[in-house]
Amino acid sequence: MDNLIDGKAVAAQTRDTVAKAVAALPITPTLAVVLVGDDPASQVYVRNKIKFTEETGMRSLEHRLPATATQEEVVAIVRALNADAEVDGILVQLPLPDHLDSNAVIAEIDPSKDVDGLTEVSAGRLVLGQPGLRPCTPTGSVILAKAALGDLTSKHCVVLGRSILVGKPAALMFLEQNCTVTIAHSRTENLPVVCRSADILVAAVGRPKMVKSEWVKAGACVIDIGINRVPSVKRPGQFRLVGDVDYRKARSVAGAITPVPGGVGPMTIACLLRNTVLAACDRREIDRPEILKI
């Protein structure tokens, strides 16, 4: 059944577009990554981000701090990167160790360098429809939906999940694409019926396989943002990744669907690179490359 949306392939295309945009610029954008602690997953993410940043022709800086780093030490690095005119984007890898206040650290990032789109200013610009840096995962979700459907105008998009990091910005970004948007959540009445009304169903609740095949309208586009670790049946004592959608069964109903892993995940890094180029252009008053428009 050829209805899989290949996030790895679309991410590779996006990175290629970013590389072409970078090659045409009179400057070399620079992305700085701050990693605190030794969380294995975070180390893998950061390694991939640095690799792809350099592959697209941009400059990468890395600042590593031990898990024992204080709030003051982390904030000091962010402020130094804010003041560095050569740095275009700042990414603080989350999650931070428990003793650190993530919100306070993010609030220190210069909004013009907020390539994760997490600051209050970035969120405000999204709500107001003003140019800015949009969160990477919702951006990737929109790009994947467009890869499957083309123009999204008039499509009914149901976003299942209302988190500040994903659900709410995703709803606003699909609204920017002229979708009719419904935000659903755990308190939504007749939730399966609401989900089944969607032309585009975006699942972002963090509950493994919550969305059943009967929640999906025949032919709908399903974007599964969830990444959940569950015990492996075939390998006792180990874990596997599943999404918020019961993928195997939903695939028989959906017109297009993202897998987990290999769907939205690869797009998050690709959109981070895209944001770094946009930040570099905005900061230097260079027109944004047309090829990076969504």
Q: Is 293 a catalytic residue?
A: no
Q: Is 122 annotated as a binding-site member?
A: no
Alpha-carbon gap, residue 194 to 4, rounded angstroms: 23
Residue 27 has pLDDT above 70, yes or no: yes
Q: Give the per-residue pLDDT at 1.
A: 59
Q: Give the per-residue pLDDT at 122.
A: 97
Task: For 246-282, write each residue's pLDDT tens digit.
Answer: 999 999 999 999 999 999 999 999 999 999 999 999 9
Q: Is 186 annotated as a binding-site member?
A: no
Asked if the domains at 27-110 and 136-266 fall in one CATH topology, the answer is yes
Q: Is 20 a catalytic residue?
A: no
Alpha-carbon gap, residue 107 to 125, rounded angstroms: 15
Q: Break the chain into its structural domains and give their ranges.
A: 27-110, 136-266
**Catalytic one of 49, 155, 168, 209:** 49
Residues β-bridged to residue 42 = none
Q: Give the per-residue pLDDT at 135.
A: 97
Going by the DSSP 8-state scheme, the letter that residue 97 receives in this structure is: P
Q: Is 49 a catalytic residue?
A: yes
Q: Is 197 annotated as a binding-site member?
A: no
Task: For 102-147, write each residue's pLDDT tens digit.
Answer: 999 999 999 999 999 999 999 999 999 999 999 999 999 999 999 9
Closest CA to 10 of 202, 167, 142: 142
The residue type at 39:
D
Cβ-proximal residues to 183 (8 Å cutoff; 6+ apart), any chain: 158, 159, 162, 167, 168, 171
**How much of the chain, in percent, has pLDDT values that exceed 90?**
90
Q: Is 237 annotated as a binding-site member?
A: no
**Catalytic one of 88, 93, 114, 224:** 93
Task: For 206-241, write each residue's pLDDT tens digit.
Answer: 999 999 999 999 999 999 999 998 988 788 888 889
Global confidence as pTM: 0.95
**Catalytic one of 116, 199, 244, 246:** 116
The residue type at 273:
L
Q: Supply the CATH classification number for the domain 136-266.
A: 3.40.50.720
Look up the CATH architecture of domain 27-110.
3-Layer(aba) Sandwich (3.40)
Alpha-carbon gap, residue 42 to 124, rounded angstroms: 28
